[in-house]
Structure 1
Amino acid sequence: MLILAIESSCDEFSVSVMENGIIKSNIISSQIKDHIIHGGVVPELASRLHTKNFPFVLIDAINESGIKIEDVDYIAYTNNPGLIGSLIIGRLVANTIGYYYKIPTIPLNHMEGHIYSANIEEKFTYPVLSLVVSGGHTQIQFIKKPLKFDIIGSTIDDAIGECFDKVARVLGLPYPGGPEIDKRAKLGRDDAYIFPKMKIIDKFNYSFSGLKTASINLIRKAMSNNSLEINDFCASFQKSAIDYLLEGFENAINYFKPKTISLAGGVSANNFLRNRIFSIGTKYNIFKILVPNLKYCTDNAAMIAELCNEYIKKEFKT
C-alpha cells in the first residue's frame, strides 16, 4: 500500500511517501529564513511561499521514494488545525492530484499526526499518555486505544513554545527562540535566577502567561543594571518551564496509569525535556518511553502518513 502525505499547516511544506508502513521519503521545505526577519511566522507570506515551493517538494519526495504517482493508493493531508491559507494550499494540492489520478484523499488532524510521530520507528503499547508541546499547543492527551484521543489537559493561555519564543525575543535571540534557549542553557546554571512557583490548574491544565511576564520583568531589570547573564538565565528559565510542564504530566501519569509515555510536537526536540521524560519513565516504572526522531519533531508529512496508515488499518479491521 502506498500513501502520499502532505503537511502544510504553518511555514513548512512537506511531502512524504510511505510504502507498506515504511517511510520511503520525507521532504520538508522550511521557511525559517524568510520569516526570521519578522520575528515570527507571517501567515500570508507562508501561504505564498507554499504556492511557490510545493512542486519542487512533491517532485523530490516522489523521486526519492522511487514510486510512480499513479500507483499511490491514498493521499493524506493536514486539514486542521493550522494557518488557514497554508492549510488551503495543502488541501488544493492533495485534492487536485487525487482528482486527476482518481486517488481517494483523507483529511487528517495535525495534532494527532504529531502524536503518531513517536509511533513511526517504535510502536505504542496502549494506553498511551502523550505530552504534546509546540509553538501553538500544550496538551496532555490520553490514547486509551489506537486513534482514541482524549485531551485531558492543556494551556489556558500561552503554549510553552510560544512562551520560549517571546522570552527569547526579549533576550535578543533569533527566531525560533526555543532551540536558541536550549543551546544556551547547556552553558549556564539553572539555579541562577528564581521564578515564581506556578500552579497546575485542575490537576492537568497549565498557564504560562505568568512565567512569561515574570521572565520579561527579570530580563529588563537585569539589563537596566548590566547584570544579565544570558546563559544562566536561559538555563534557569528552561528548567522552571519544564519542571512546571512535567508536574502536570506526572499528575496525569498517576491518574491514568499508562503503559507508554511519549512526547510530540516541535518542543519535543528540546534536549532537557527529552532527558527528563526518560527519568520520569524510570520513576514510575514505565518501560516504553517514546520520543520522536528529531527529524519527525517539527511539522513533517511522515507523521501524517503514519496517522493515515493507522486509520486505514483500523478501517480494514472493522
Structure 2
Amino acid sequence: MKILAIESSCDEFSISIIDNKKILTNIISSQIKQHEAFGGVVPELAARLHLESIDYTLLAALKESKLDINEIDYIAYTERPGLIGSLIIGKLVGESIAEYINKPLIALDHIEGHIFGANINNKFEYPVLAMVVSGGHTQIEMVYSPNDFEVIGATVDDAIGECYDKVARVLGFKYPGGALIDKQAFVGNKNAFNFTQPKNDGSYDFSYSGLKTNVINTIHNLKQNHKEIPINDICASFQFAATNIIEKKLQKAIEEFKPKTLTIAGGVSANCELREVIKLLGKKNNIKNTIIPEFQYCTDNAAMIAKLAYEKLK
C-alpha cells in the first residue's frame, strides 16, 4: 500500500510517500527565511510560496522514492487545522493528483498527524497519552486507536510556541525564537524570576497569555529603569514556568488515564527541556513505552500525515 501525503497547513509545503510501514521520502520546502523579516508567518505569503513549491516537492518525492505517480494507491492531505489559504493549496494539489491517477483521496487532521509522527519509527501501545505542543496548539490527547482521539485539555488563549516566539521577539531574537530561548535557558538560573504559573488550577487546560505578559512586562520594566537585561536568567525562568505546568498536568493525566504509551508531538517537542520532562515522567511512572519523536518529525512534515493515513487504512 503506497500513500502519497501532502502537508501544507502553515509555512512548510511537504510531500511524503509511505510504502506500508516504510517512509520512502519526506521532502519539505520551508519558508522560515521568507517570513523572518516579518517576525512571524504571513498567511498570504505562505500560500503564495506554497504554489511555487509544488513542482519541486512532487518531482523530488517521486524521484527519491523511485516511483511513478501511477503506482500510488492513495492520496492524503491535511484538511485542518491551519492557515486557510495554505490548507486550500494542499487540498487542491491532493484533489488534482487523485483525479489524475483516479485514486482515493483522504482528508486528515494536522494534530492527529503530529501525534503519529512519533509512531513512524516506533509502535504505539494503546491507550496513548500525547502532549501536543506547537506554535498554534497546546493540548493533551488520549488516543485509543488511529480513529479514536479524545482531547482532554487545550489552551484557552496563546499556544506555548506562540508564547515562546512573542517573548523571543521582545528579547531581540530573530524568528523563530523558541529554539534560541531553549538554548539560552540552559546557561541561566531558572529561579532568578518567579514568573506566573500558567493556569495552575488542577484542570487539563492551558493558558499562556498571562505568562507572556508577565515576562514581557518584566523586560520592559528593566529597560525603563536602565537596568541590564539578564537574558539567560529570563530565558531559564520563563522556560521553567512554561514547561513545569505541563509536567504537573501530565502527571495528573497519567494517574487518571493510566496510558500504556506516553509521547510528545508538535514543533515545540524539539524543546530540550520538554523532551527531558517526558523522559522523566515515563521513568517515574514506569511507562516503558515512552516515545520522544525524532527531530525531523517534530516540525510540520508530510511523513506524519502519511503515517496517520497508513494506520487509519490498516
Tell me the TM-score range normalised by the shorter chain.
over 0.9
Name the amino acid aligned to 1:219. I
Unaligned 5+ runs, structure 2: none
Whether 2:11 is the aligned partner of 1:16: answer: no
- Map 1:166-245 onto structure 2 (within 5 A): 166-201=166-201, 203-224=203-224, 225-245=226-246
- In the other structure, the counterpart of 2:43 is 43
- In the other structure, the counterpart of 2:125 is 125
Q: Tell me by how many angstroms 1:202 deviates.
A: 5.3
Name the amino acid aligned to 1:156. V
Q: Tell me by how many angstroms 1:139 deviates.
A: 0.4
Q: Tell me by how many angstroms 1:203 deviates.
A: 1.9
Tell me which moved more, 260-269 or 280-289: 280-289
Name the amino acid aligned to 2:33. K
Name the amino acid aligned to 1:148. D
- In the other structure, the counterpart of 1:247 is 248
- Could you tell me whether the CA contact under 8 Å between 1:126 and 1:146 is conserved in 2? no
- In the other structure, the counterpart of 1:316 is none
Question: CA-to-partner distance for each residue in 1:19-70, whole Å, 9 max, x for gaps?
Answer: 1210010010000000010011000000000001111011111111111111
Q: Tell me by how many angstroms 1:103 deviates.
A: 1.4
- Could you tell me whether the CA contact under 8 Å between 2:198 and 2:241 is conserved in 1? no
CA RMSD of aligned residues (A): 1.1
Question: CA-to-partner distance for each residue in 1:153-209, whole Å, 9 max, x for gaps?
Answer: 011111111110111111111111211111111222222222134433452111111
Question: CA-to-partner distance for each residue in 1:60-103, whole Å, 9 max, x for gaps?
Answer: 11111111111000010000111111011111111111111111
The TM-score, its normalising length taken from structure 1, stands at: 0.96
SS of the counterpart of 1:144? Answer: strand
- In the other structure, the counterpart of 1:285 is 286
- Could you tell me whether the CA contact under 8 Å between 2:198 and 2:242 is conserved in 1? no
The TM-score, its normalising length taken from structure 2, stands at: 0.97
Question: CA-to-partner distance for each residue in 1:121-153, whole Å, 9 max, x for gaps?
Answer: 001011110000000000000012333100000
Unaligned 5+ runs, structure 1: 314-318
- In the other structure, the counterpart of 2:307 is 306
Q: CA–CA distance in 2 between the matches of 1:196 and 1:93?
A: 44
- Number of aligned residue pairs: 313
Question: CA-to-partner distance for each residue in 1:273-316, whole Å, 9 max, x for gaps?
Answer: 10111011111111111111100000000000000001111xxx
- Could you tell me whether the CA contact under 8 Å between 1:17 and 1:302 is conserved in 2? yes
Name the amino acid aligned to 1:146. P
- In the other structure, the counterpart of 2:25 is 25
- In the other structure, the counterpart of 1:275 is 276
